[in-house]
Structures are given as C-alpha cells and as structure tokens.
C-alpha cells in the first residue's frame, strides 16, 4: 500500500491519491510512514525529471498529487497545543515558487505545537522583512530550491540586520543550500530536512 502511494505521487495520479491515503489510514498505517511514502514519490519524480524521462507537466502533477494526499493526511499527523512551542514565520524567497518542502516543515511544526505563519512563495526581501516586523516570530524559516534564488536568503538576512530585527533567528532549508552556505550568509541554522528543521528550531528557541 505504501508503494502504491509512492507510485501515485511519482506518476501524478491526482484522482486516486485521496482514496489511497484514506484506505491506508483505515488499514491502520502510521501517518508518518505515509508521509514518507508520499515524499519518496516526489523524490522519484525529481530523479526522473533529472534523467529526462519526465518533464515539467509531470512535476506539476506530482506536486498536485502530494497536496491532495496531504489534505487527507494532515489532520492525522497529530496536533499539540497550538502556539505553545513558539512562533515561526515561513516563506520561500523571491523568484522561487517551490513550496512543498516548506509546507511539509509547516505541517510538522504545527503538529509539534508551534504557531506557524506561512507567507507563501516568491516573497521579495521587503515583504519578508515587513512580515517579521509585523509578526515578531521567534524564528524565520526561509526556503529556496533553486541555485539562483538561494542568493536572496543572504539579502533577507542583511535587510533584517539593517532593520534591527535579528532577535528573530533565521533557519534556512531547501535542496541547494547547505550548512556552509548558512554560515556564509550568517543564518543562525540550516536543516537538510523537515525533521532536522523542527529539532534545530527548538534549539534556536531554547525551550
């Protein structure tokens, strides 16, 4: 059944995914295992895209399928008391519309009791700084999936510095970024995946 879920996401089967996830839940499969199965599907789709077997429409279908599956799965990922763990603002940087990884981080943070403010994708530096000023989050989580857009993360950190807003800690994530890059742009932390992200965010907040 987990394999069927992985294949449905990989092949962009938007119609059957909700039913597959629901029957997995009914059969007693663990929600986190099903989340992993769906993420594996995206990974496999990405590999096929890289090797030239799949093209952009297949990527879009896979991402829609993931989102449809998440609608069924999310309520089952567990919910701790909202906001108790801290406040996190999430956003993808300018020029970048990838949001699946960021959304996954958001889902897990909410399940772990964080208040999450998600400002979506393709955010200009000015918009991110304004949101930090408005919401005063404990942590700002920035996402970028393109080697071109990741450079915008450094701009955001410089702008936060100039605006005196570095009480908010900054964590970065996304395919092309690394711990070394985080150090270069003076981010407070880097995480390679959502689970590590939650752990690092907890460390940053120190609760």
Judged by the rule CB under 6 A, the positions of this chain that interact with ligand B12 are 39, 42-43, 45-46, 49-50, 56, 59-60, 63, 95-102, 104-105, 141-143, 145-147, 171, 173-176, 191, 193-194, 197
Shorter beta-carbon distance to ligand B12: residue 85 or 194: 194
Q: Which residue has the tokens 């772990």?
A: 112
By C-alpha distance, which of 122, 120, 177 is closest to 154? 177
Distance CA 54, CA 59 (A): 8
Token pair for 172 = 């970065």
Are the CB atoms for 123 and 92 separated by under 8 Å? yes
CB of 47 to ligand B12, least distance (A): 7
CB of 7 to ligand B12, least distance (A): 15
Distance CA 136, CA 144 (A): 22
Shorter beta-carbon distance to ligand B12: residue 145 or 156: 145
By C-alpha distance, which of 31, 110, 34, 40 is closest to 77? 31
Shorter beta-carbon distance to ligand B12: residue 72 or 90: 90
Q: Which residue has the tokens 């985080």?
A: 182
Shorter beta-carbon distance to ligand B12: residue 76 or 92: 92
Looking at residue 101, what DSSP letter applies?
A: H
Q: Which residue has the tokens 């995946």?
A: 193
Q: Which residue has the tokens 């907890």?
A: 202
Shorter beta-carbon distance to ligand B12: residue 65 or 72: 65
CB of 153 to ligand B12, least distance (A): 10
CB of 157 to ligand B12, least distance (A): 13
CB of 141 to ligand B12, least distance (A): 3
Q: Which residue is nearest to ligand B12 (CB)?
A: 101
């Amino acid at each position: 059944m987990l394999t069927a879920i992985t294949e449905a996401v990989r092949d962009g089967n938007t119609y059957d995914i909700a039913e597959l996830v629901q029957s997995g839940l009914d059969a007693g499969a663990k929600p986190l295992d099903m989340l992993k199965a769906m993420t594996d599907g995206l990974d496999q789709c990405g590999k096929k895209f890289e090797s030239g077997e799949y093209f952009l429409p297949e990527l879009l279908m896979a991402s829609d399928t993931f989102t449809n599956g998440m609608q069924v799965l999310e309520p089952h990922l567990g919910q701790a008391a909202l906001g108790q763990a801290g406040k996190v603002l999430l956003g993808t940087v300018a020029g970048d519309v990838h949001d699946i990884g960021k959304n996954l981080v958001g889902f897990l943070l909410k399940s772990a009791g964080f208040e999450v403010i998600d400002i979506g994708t393709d955010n200009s530096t000015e918009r991110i700084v304004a949101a930090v000023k408005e919401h005063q989050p404990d942590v700002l989580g920035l996402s970028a999936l393109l080697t071109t857009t990741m450079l915008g993360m450094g701009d955001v950190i410089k702008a936060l510095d100039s605006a005196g807003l570095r009480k908010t800690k900054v964590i970065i994530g996304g395919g092309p970024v690394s711990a070394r890059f985080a150090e270069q742009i003076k981010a407070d932390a880097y995480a390679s995946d959502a689970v590590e992200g939650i752990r690092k965010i907890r460390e940053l907040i120190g609760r």
